[in-house]
Amino acid sequence: MQSITDTVVLAGKRRAQALGYDNVKVQVRPLDERLRLPGCEQPLDTFMPPGAPSLGAVNVGVRCASSQPWTIYVRAHISAQRAVPVLARPLARNTIISEADLTVIDQPIDTAISGVVYEVEQIIGMELTRSLDAGSTIGVNQLRPPKVIKRGQQVTLVAGAGNLQVRMQGKALGDATAGERVRVTNLSSNQQVEGIANFDGTVSVP
């Protein structure tokens, strides 16, 4: 019986660790003492149903593929800790997040949290889509690339490449993040042109 328990514990830990969780703990529900299974001549194999959670209450299948095969299901509870970036202070909607706005904590969890951003590098420089309190985790749907150009802003139009660049002044007709297309009025010719917004707020035009 102990070999079954040990196999379930190892399988639960490996699965959670593969998903980035640390300090994984697996508690296995005691097996029925009346259970009698033939000895297994092969290493025990484990499996979980498709879509089974990696944390919390789980059913782990244990299978023996020896000359007297058998399969049982064992109940277990898996918990862990994970380093999670959270806000160090309250931030308002449309705030561009800096490194100083974040702190990383080890958070005990027993439920897989979908949509939370765990990498600090994926948060810094992004803009909040809603106000959040201090200590809040940050979800993917709460971040967006910041606008490098805003409607009505005066921008520099850049045509050509290398040493053959021509720069003109223009007025943005819409908002844009870096890499987005934006329409701009060329202030010299008063014509509307379309270009690509750059990280520095300039607009590259054909």
**Runs of H (alpha helix) within the chain:** 2-18
pLDDT value at residue 112:
66
∠ CA 40-45-50, rounded to 5°: 145
HEC profile of 104-136: EEEEEECCCCCCECCCHHHCCCCEECCCECCCC
Structure tokens given for 190: 């008063």
C-alpha neighbours within 13 Å on the C-beta side of residue 44: 25
**Residue 52 CB contacts under 8 Å (≥ 6 apart), including other chains:** 58, 59
pLDDT value at residue 51:
81
pLDDT at 114 over 80: no
Question: Percent of the chain scored above 70 by pLDDT?
Answer: 98
97, 38 Cβ separation under 8 angstroms:
no
Q: Per-residue pLDDT tens for 30-54?
A: 888 788 888 888 899 999 888 888 8
203, 197 Cβ separation under 8 angstroms:
yes
